[in-house]
Structure 1
Amino acid sequence: PIPDLTKLHSLTDLRLRDNQLTGLFPSTLTTLPSLHTISMLNNALQGPYPSFPLTVIAEIGGANANSYCLPAPGKCDARVNILLEFAKGVGYPSTFATNWKGNNPCDGWLYVTCDPAGNVIVLSMAGLSLSGTISPALAELGYLKTLLFGNNNLTGVIPTQLASLRSLHKLDVSNNNLKGKVPQFKAGVVVVDGNPNLGTRSVSDPAAHGPSAGLSPYTGGTRTVAAPASPRDTWEKNRTWSSVGAVVGSVVAGLLGMGIMLGGLALCLHKRRKCGSRRVRSPNANVRAHNRCGSDPEMSKMTSSNSTTSGGGDLSISGASDVHNVDARNMIISIQVLRSVTNSFNEENVLGRGGFGVVYKGELHDGTKIAAKRMEAAGVMSSKGFNEFQAEIGVLTKVRHRHLVALLGYCIQGTERLLVYEYMPQGPLSRHLFEWEKHDLKALDWTSRLIIALDVARGVEYLHSLAHKSFIHRDLKPSNILLGDDMRAKVSDFGLVRLAPEGKCSVETKLAGTFGYLAPEYAVTGRVTTKADVFSFGVILMELVTGRRALDESEPEERMHLVSWFRRMHINKETFTTAIDRALEVSEDTLKSICTVAELAGHCTAREPYQRPDMGHAVNVLSPLVEKWKPTDAQNDDYYGIDLDMTLPQALKKWQAFEDSNVDGSVTSTDNTQSSIPTRPSGLADSFTSTDGR
C-alpha cells in the first residue's frame, strides 16, 4: 500500500507508475497543496476512483490500468467496501487486486460466492498464505454462511462481531496463529485446530475457567467450539455446603443426567429410524448422508470420516471438522465428500473433458450416481470460465424441470470449483446420433428421436415461458442434451444462459454458443432473444432427421452447412427422401411424421426471428406425433362407461375389477408418468353407502 504522504506539503511531482502497488488509492493525495503531476498507471490499486483538482495532471488509469471499483469518481458498493476492509487486514494481497475488479463482488470475484439475490454467502480463502488479521467488518455481510480461512498465517483474535452472523454455520480458522478467546458461536460452528494460542471457550463461558461437565470439544481429534456447559465451577467452589447436601445433590444430578441421556438416546434412535441415512463407501473414507428431520425438510447433512475399526467392528471415529452440511437452497458440498464419492477423482471415473475441465462419475452406496464437473484450477481459470460457473449455479438454483438436468450441489473450496449434477448414464445425444457405430451402439429409431425432440422442446419451453422468469439457453446442441437409461432427454450446460428481456426486446451480449447453431441475427449483431434458442432447436430437428452434424467440414462446401443444404433438399419430396438418415427404417407413417418434423424445422430456422414460432408451438406440433391416442371399439359394452342401471356400490366393484384385470395397461404413456386423471380418488374406500356418497 502507498504510505501516508500528507506531510509532504512541497511535493509537486509524484510518479509511481508501473509497480505492483496494492491497496486503496489514498484520498489524502488529492489534497496535497503543491501537487502538479501524479502518475499511478499500471498498478493494482483498488477502491474508489480518485478525483483531483483540474490544476493537477493526473495519470491514474481507468479500470484496465488499476482495479478501481468504478471507471470514474463515485462511491463503491457497500459489499465492495466491506471486502476491501478485509483485504486491508491481510495486507491487500495481489491475488485480490488482480481478481477483484468492478463494483459487484458477485460478478466473477475469485473466492467469493453469492446467492441469486446478490448476497455474499461464502468466502473461501483457505490455503492462500494470507497474513494479518480478520477484519470485524465481515460481520456487516449479514447473509454469510461459510468462512474458510484455514491453512493461512492469520494472527490476532477472532472478531467477536462475527458471532452476530445468524446464518453462519461454519467458520474454519484452523492452522493459523490466532490467539485470545473464541467468541460464543453456536455449537460446532468454529473449527480452530492448529492455533496453539487460541482458547476454546469464550470469556462469557463459565466453563472456560474450570473443568467442563459436558463432552470434550476435542472428541475425534478435531477441536470445535462447544456449546456452553452448566456452571459446575460455582458448585465446586462453594465449600459451605454440608456433606449431606453434597451427596443428595450428586445423586439428584446423576439421576437427572441419566434421564436426560436416556431421553436423548431415545430421541436420536427415533429420528434415525424416521429419517434414515445413506452411507457412501470409498477406499479411504466413509460418507454418511443423513436426511435431516425438523423445521427445514430441505436440509441434509453429510459426514465424512477416516474410519478406524477395532476387532473387526463397525465403529468409526469422526472429527467434527469432517462434518459437511449440504443445504438444498445454497447446495454447498465439501471437497472431502466429492473426493470420497469419486475415489479421489480417479482417472477411471472420467466421463468427459472440455474447455471447463473434467467431468467425473461418482457413485453412492445405494447405486445413485452423480456427475461432478471439476473446473480447471481457480488460479488459472479465466474470468469467462468463472462467470459461466456462477451463471450455471444461478440458473439451476432457480429452475427445476424433468427435462432439465438437475444441479445437486456445488463446491467452492480453496482453488477447487465443482458443479454436481444428476448422472445421465447414456451420455449426450451427439454420441447416439453421430457416433453410434464408433461406440458400438444401436442407431436411434424414429420414435426415440421424436420423444427426444419433444423432451427438449418441453425443457426449453419451460425456460422461455413457464419458469418464474424467462431464460435464454444460448448453446442448445446435441452435446448439451443428455439421455437417461430410458432414453429420455434433459437439457444441460447452463453456463451461457441469460435472463431474457421483458416484452419483445432483445438483449445485447457477447457472442457465445456454437457455430452451426447460432441464429443469424445473434451471430451478426450480438442481440439475442428466445428466438435464438428456437433457431438452434430447428437445427437439432434437422440433425435428427438427417443424422448429419450442423457443421461438417469433411463434406464438400455445398453440403457443409446443414441448414442451407437441408432447405435445398426439402424443396421436393424426391430429393428430401434421400436426405433422411439411412439408419432409419422409413415406413409410410414414419415418412409422414418425418415430413411434419422437417416442416417444423424449416419454420424454426427462418431467417427473421419474428418468422419463427415459439417453443410452445413446437411442443404442440410434436406432441400428437408422440402421444397418439386411439379410441377403443365403440361396440364394446364398457365403451360408454358405467351402466346407469347399476347401484353405485355395484359400479365401483366393477370398476375395481376392471382395474385389477388391466394392471399392466394396454397403452403406455411415453412420459412414463401417472395419468393426470386418477383411477379412483385418493383415500376413497373400497365400498360405501349412499349416505357416504352424498
Structure 2
Amino acid sequence: MEGVSKLFRKSAKRAKPSSALPEGLCRQFSLAEIKIATNNFNDELLVGEGGFGRVYKGFIDDCNKTVAIKRLKLKPGQGLVFEDLRTKVVLLCQLRHPNLVPLIGYCIDEGENILVYEFIVNGNLFRKLYYTDHDEHDRLSWKQRLRICIGVVRALHYLHTGVKHTIIHGDMKPANILLNKKWEAKLSDFSRFVSDSTMLDTLGYVDPECRITSGLTDKSDVYSFGVVLFKVVLGKMHQWRLISLAQKGEREWSFNKKIDPYLKGKIAPECFKVYMDIATSCVQNEGKDRPTMNEVEVGLEHALELQESADAASKDGEYYCPIDEYTCNDFWGFASPAIVEYTSSSSLPELEEFLSDSDSLREYI
C-alpha cells in the first residue's frame, strides 16, 4: 500500500484543483479529482464497505489533507436528482458539532454519487470492540466506552433538536461510530439521509416499527442506539437474542454470563443498573415507550458520575460482579414474589429445602 500511496501522491501534486465551494461551506469535487485522490479507487486504499457503498482513504489539496471518500452504491430507482442531492449535502456540510464527522463535500459526476468526509484516524467502534488484540492496553476501558456513548448521544440529540429541520441518522451502529486520536466519538455516515433510502440493511439495529411503516423517526435512532448500548457492554451476542432478553424484562443479574469478560469486576453496581435501565428503555417495541435522546443523554451522564464516584471511593477499582452485587442488595425484592408463589403449592419442609438452596431459588426467580 505504501508503494501505491507514493505513486498517486506524485500524480496528485501535478493536478490542478478544480473543486468549488458552493455557499462557502460545501465543496463540489469533480470525478477526476476523486479518482486522483483515490488512485482511481484502488482497492489498497479501501478502508470499509457496507450496504450503502465503499469507503476509500484519499488525499486532496496536493496531498496535504487526508479524507474518507464514500462511493455510494444505490439500487435501481434510487438515483438522485442533482439539485436534490446537492441541497441535502450542503445542509450536512453546515452541521457543526464536536461529535460529528465533518462532511467536506460531494461529487455528482458521470453517474457517480460520492461523499467526502474528514478522515478519522482510529477507525470505528465495531473494530475496536471485536477485532482488537488481547492486550489489555488495546482494549477500551468501561469509562472510555461510557464517554464514547455519551458523545454519540450528544450528536444524535443535536441532529434531532439542534438544527432547523430534524435529521434522522437512520443507520446507527458501531461501525458508524468513529474514534479520533483521543478516543472521542465521531458519528459518521449519513448515506441513508442523503439517498432517501428505505432499505433496512443492518438487521438487528432496525426499529421494528420501520418494518410496518417503512418510515424513520427520531425514535428509530433511539432504538438503534439502544442496541449499540447493549453491544458496548455485552459484546458479541447476536442482536436478536440480546434485545429479546431486554424486552422480556430480563433482570440485570441474568446478563452475568453475557457481559464482556474484559469488563467483569470493573463496573460499579449502581452505574451498571442505570446503564442497563437506559439501554432497555431504548429498545422498547413501540416508539412512544422509548425516551428522547435528551433523556438518554442525561441518564448516561448520570451513569458516568456514579462510576467516577465509585472509583474515587474504591481502593483498587475492582468490584464484585455488578449483577450479583445488585441482586444481593435487593435480593428479597426479587425473591418475595417467587416465594409467595411457591408457598401456595408447597408444604413447609419443601419450602425450607427450597430456601436453603440459593441456586434453586435464583433459578426459580
Superposition TM-score, scaled by structure 2 size:
0.70
Give the aligned partner of residue 309 of structure 1. none
User: Alignment partner for residue 546 of structure 1, among 234, 238, 247?
Assistant: 234
Which of these residues, 292, 301, 318, is aligned with residue 623 of structure 1? 301
Asked which structure has the greater RCO (Cα within 8 Å, sep 6+), the reply is 2
Which one has the largest radius of gyration?
1
Q: Which amino acid aligns with 2:32?
A: Q
Percent identity, aligned pairs only, is: 32
Show the counterpart of 2:211.
523
1:564 aligned to which of 244, 247, 251: 244
Shift of 1:417: 3.0
Offset, 1:600? 0.4
Query: How far apart, CA to CA, are the structure 1 residues paired with 2:264 and 2:157?
Result: 30
- Higher helix fraction: Structure 1 or Structure 2? 2
Unaligned runs of 5+ in 1: 1-280, 288-303, 306-321, 499-508, 552-559, 631-694
Quick one: which amino acid aligns to residue 497 of structure 1?
A: F
User: What does 1:17-166 align with in structure 2 at a 5 Å threshold?
Assistant: none
State the alpha-carbon separation in 1 of the partners of residues 234 and 200 from structure 2.
Answer: 26
Is the Cα contact below 8 Å between 1:511 and 1:523 reproduced in 2? no
The one-letter code matched in structure 2 to 1:384 is: Q
Structure 1 355/526 Cα, relative in aligned 2: closer, same or farther at 3 Å?
Answer: closer
Cα deviation 1:586-633 (Å, max 9, x = unaligned): 23x533322211110111112222221100011111123446888xxx
1:395–1:437 distance in 2 versus 1, CA, 3 Å: farther
Secondary structure of 2:263's counterpart equals coil
- Pair 1:591-2:318 in alignment: no
Offset at residue 459 of structure 1 (A)? 0.6
* 1:474–1:512 Cα contact (<8 Å) kept: no
- Alpha-carbon offset, residue 391 of structure 1: 8.2
Report the 3-state secondary structure (helix = DSSP H, G, I; strand = E; otherwise coil) of the residue aligned with 1:405.
coil
Contact 1:548 1:562 in 2 (8 A): no
Give SS of 1:613's match. Answer: coil
**Could you tell me which residue of structure 2 aligns to residue 612 of structure 1?**
290
Q: CA RMSD in A?
A: 3.4
SS at match of 2:28: coil
Aligned residue for 2:192, secondary structure, equals coil
Q: Report deviation, 1:354.
A: 3.2
Corresponding residue number in structure 2 for 1:332: 28
Q: Quick check: 2:103–2:117 contact (8 Å CA) kept in 1? A: yes
Which is richer in strand? 1
Correspondence 1:432 to 2:128: yes
Residue 476 of structure 1 pairs with residue 154 of structure 2: no
* 2:101 match: 405
Instruction: Give the partner amino acid of 1:599.
Output: D
Answering whether residue 224 of structure 2 is matched by residue 536 of structure 1, we say: yes
Picking from 114, 129, 150, the partner of 1:418 is 114
What is the count of residue pairs matched by the alignment?
297
Aligned CA distance change for structure 1 residues 391 and 495 (closer, same or farther; 3 Å) = farther
- Structure 2 residue matching 1:544: 3-state secondary structure: helix
- Cα distance between partner residues in 2 of 1:472 and 1:360: 24
- Aligned partner of 1:594: which letter? F
| 1:466 alignment counterpart | 162
How far apart, CA to CA, are the structure 2 residues paired with 1:531 and 1:326? 34
SS in structure 2 at match of 1:408: strand
User: Which residue of structure 1 lines up, in the alignment, with residue 320 of structure 2?
Assistant: none
Residue 454 of structure 1: which of 150, 168, 191 is its match? 150
The answer to whether residue 11 in structure 2 is matched with residue 284 in structure 1 is: yes
Offset at residue 402 of structure 1 (A): 1.6
Alpha-carbon distance in structure 1 between the residues aligned to 2:36 and 2:106: 15
Residues 1:391 and 1:356: Cα distance change in structure 2 (over 3 Å) = farther
Q: TM-score, normalization: structure 1?
A: 0.39
AA matched with 2:71: R
1:546 to partner: Cα distance: 0.2
The separation in 2 between residues aligned to 1:373 and 1:344, in whole angstroms, is 13
Separation in structure 2 between the aligned mates of residue 369 and residue 480 of structure 1, nearest angstrom = 18
Provide closer, same or farther for how the CA distance between residues 392 and 446 of structure 1 changes in structure 2, counting only shifts above 3 A.
farther
Give the gaps of 5 or more residues in structure 2: 1-7, 310-365
Matched residues in 1 for 2:87 and 2:208: separation?
Answer: 24
